[in-house]
Amino acid sequence: MLQIRSVAADDPVDSDVSKPVAEMETQPVIELDDIQKVYHTGEVDVHAVRGVSLKVMPGEFVAVMGASGSGKSTLMNTLGCLDRPTQGRYLLDGIDVSRLDRDELADIRNQKIGFVFQGFNLLSRTSAIENVELPMFYTHRKISGHEQRERALKALDLVGLAARADHHPNQLSGGQQQRVAIARALVNEPALLLADEPTGNLDSQTSIEIMGVFQKLNDQGMTVVMVTHELDIAQYTKRTIVMRDGKVLTDTPVTNRLKAEVELEKLRDAQKSVQLS
Amino acid sequence: MRRIFATFRIALRALRRNKLRTLLTMLGMIIGVAAVISAIGIGNGAKAQVEAQIAGLGQNVVSVFPGSTTAGGMRGGWGSMSTLTPEEAKAIEAEVPGVVAVSSEVRERQQVMANGLNWNTQILGESPDYLSVRAWGLESGEMFTEADVNSAAKVAVIGKTIVDQLYSGADPVGETIRIRNMPFKIVGVLTPKGVNFFGQDQDDVVIVPYTSAMRRVARRQYLSAILIQAAAPDEMPRIQDDVTGLLQQRRPGRDPDFIVRNQLELAEAATATSKTMTWLVGAIASISLVVGGIGIMNIMLVSVTERTREIGIRMAVGARGRDILLQFLTEAVTLSILGGVIGIITGFVISHFISTKTSWPSLISPTSVVIAFVFSAAVGIFFGFYPARKASRLDPIDALRYE
């Protein structure tokens, strides 16, 4: 919370900061009310999501799981304001976004949501810091070049990559690229961090490191929702939602929650013992 | 403003990424614009030259030529009629308003001799006003006078070519030149006028009083032409009509045996030619610009497809459709303007090269540069719009998923 707030403190215009803490705790970040999504492909209507209602409160860390075709990707696209639901209401940080037009959705994505993708989706041949600055380029409020750089550097610092600000994606490892992507997602101080299989392209140790970054951000107050199909990755979150056939099958708090620091320590010990033997 | 600058920077970076492709795409624009600039430059140069030569024929000149004779079924052609007289010239000068100067003209080719050398040249019998009518000056000496005309004096003003041929370039004022074996005193030398646009050497000439020419050289009673100078260009058509009326009045009951021409007709013919040229160049220019524009559109479409994922990323982090449209439009316009500017420079170089290697003058007007620039920008906007709009209408989800 502290570090994210410190980024936000430099930015008095941002609405989140001015909100009283009590109100923030009572108002859900995500409130879905009977969300349905139907794709009209040819003659058959595909019901990808058939009636999902759920609430995500600030500071939650949610894993959405499910087999392919369960509707979790469609749900993520809806949550990410990349797509509009066919039916139902979606309140994001108190704003009804279910009926906004394309341009308004773009602004919501810019201000309220930070995306982290499986394939990192960084602009190649563009330095890490310029990638992080990208969302601010599309912010309507004028942000000076100096402020952009400062905020981007802070976001990179938050994910531990400030030293590599001028490296290009092809000079960074997969884990480092994903950290840059997370920094990019954080730079506009969103209400919600959405991650779509963020560890899908990473080896197990790097995956745990990235989960550590998410846990750290969540500890600081960031609301995180991620899609994953790996059970052990879901163990790092606080709440697991399992979907099947476009509906929520189970919605349970995570017991035996894993801590990334502890798991990394275990991994290092294991590696040491292998080397010793 | 800063936003536009940043968008422009992104466009430049994108274009730098594919240097060869950028260059090849611009090539269409470069060739088109360079062709237009150099063609217009050379066309303008030629036009200016023709205009200078027409001006060299004299200022605001209306000419009267004798008509055609018919004898035994043989028609003599313009100038064969022997009816124009110095009296008519005097009548025109006295009666037609707006006439500044009149010169009676007698033309005759004769052999001239001096210093033991001889030369066949054009003898012109004229009035002292001739130099004013033709806007011609003297290099040395003086023009003969009205008194010389009245006395049919044996005096002559000669052109530079005669000086070169008979006097080896030395100043011949005061010397004698023999025309038809009669000695004429040289009183003046004309400033060189060069070749006219029919290819004739205008300096190969000996001018004597028209009375002397009629009595001593050509030995005839009629004129080859009457040259009339109008006070202003817009008076020429009226003077043309007045002169026609006056001459017709002096020939009661006869068909007109003369023709009256004015210089504007000549200038109009020349202008019409250059107008046709301009249209032709313009047509070629627009074709090449369209071809260049299609090249840009093609590459922009490829670029949009290649960068679908980038478009998806930009949309995901909050780019509106308009932002994407502007980005690709800026790229297309940058391409076309860059091509246009390089084309303008190349056009300069080409026309300069041509005018130094040949005798064609070239004249690149600032207007043609501005027009070329504006057109290349317009081509970028026109042909860049479709690909840019296509990019801006992509669905962010599909764009992000694009491999």
List pLDDT tens digits, range B148-166.
999 999 999 999 999 988 8
φ and ψ at residue B395, rounded to 5 degrees:
-85, 125
Half-sphere exposure (Cβ direction) of B85: Cα atoms closer than 13 Å:
8
How large is the average pLDDT for residues A1-28?
49
Residue B1: its pLDDT value, please? 61
Q: Which residues contact B308 (CB under 8 A, 6 or more apart)?
A: B394, B399, B402
Question: Quick one: how far is CA B276 from the chain centroid?
Answer: 12
Q: Which residue of B has its CA nearest to A139?
A: B318
3-state secondary structure at position B129: coil
E strand or H helix at A215: helix A204-219
By the CB < 8 Å criterion, does A125 face chain B? yes
Cβ–Cβ gap A134/B310 under 8 Å:
no
Q: Which residue of A has its CA nearest to B310?
A: A123
Binding-face residues of B in 382-401 toward A, CB within 8 A: 396-397, 400
Q: Which residues of A touch B308 (CB under 8 A)?
A: none
Whose structure tokens read 């989140």? A16
Higher model confidence: residue A235 or residue B170?
A235
List pLDDT tens digits, range B336-378.
999 999 999 999 998 888 888 877 777 788 888 998 899 899 9
How large is the average pLDDT for residues B372-400?
93
CB-count exposure of residue B219 (10 Å: 0-12, 13-18, 19+): exposed
Contact A32, A49 (CB under 8 A): no
How large is the average pLDDT for residues B53-76?
75
By the CB < 8 Å criterion, does A39 face chain B? no
Half-sphere exposure (Cβ direction) of B384: Cα atoms closer than 13 Å:
22
Cβ–Cβ gap A134/B317 under 8 Å:
yes
Cβ–Cβ gap A184/B317 under 8 Å:
yes
Residue B217: its pLDDT value, please? 86
Longest alpha-carbon distance in chain B: 104
**Domain boundaries defined on chain B:** 2-53+269-401, 82-256
Q: Which residue of B has its CA nearest to A74?
A: B397
pLDDT at A18 over 60: no
3-state secondary structure at position B270: helix
Q: Which residues of A205-237 are buried (b: 16+ CB within 10 A; e: fewer)?
A: ebbbbbbbbbbbbbeeebbbbbbbbeeebbbbb
Q: Which residues of B touch A106 (CB under 8 A)?
A: 315, 318-321
Distance between CA B51 and CA B274 in Å, rounded? 11
Residue A55: its pLDDT value, please? 94
By the CB < 8 Å criterion, does B316 face chain A? yes
Amino acid at B85: T
Q: Between A77, A117, A138, which is nearest B318 by CB?
A: A138
Selection from A175, A78, A95 nearest residue A87 by Cα: A78
Residue B198: its pLDDT value, please? 67
Alpha helical stretches, state H, B175-262: 210-212, 236-249
Instruction: Please tell me the CATH superfamily of domain A2-19+58-82+100-276, with its number.
Output: P-loop containing nucleotide triphosphate hydrolases (3.40.50.300)
pTM of the model: 0.72
The interface predicted TM-score (ipTM) is: 0.87
By the CB < 8 Å criterion, does A111 face chain B? yes
Binding-face residues of A in 169-198 toward B, CB within 8 A: 184, 188
Amino acid at A120: F
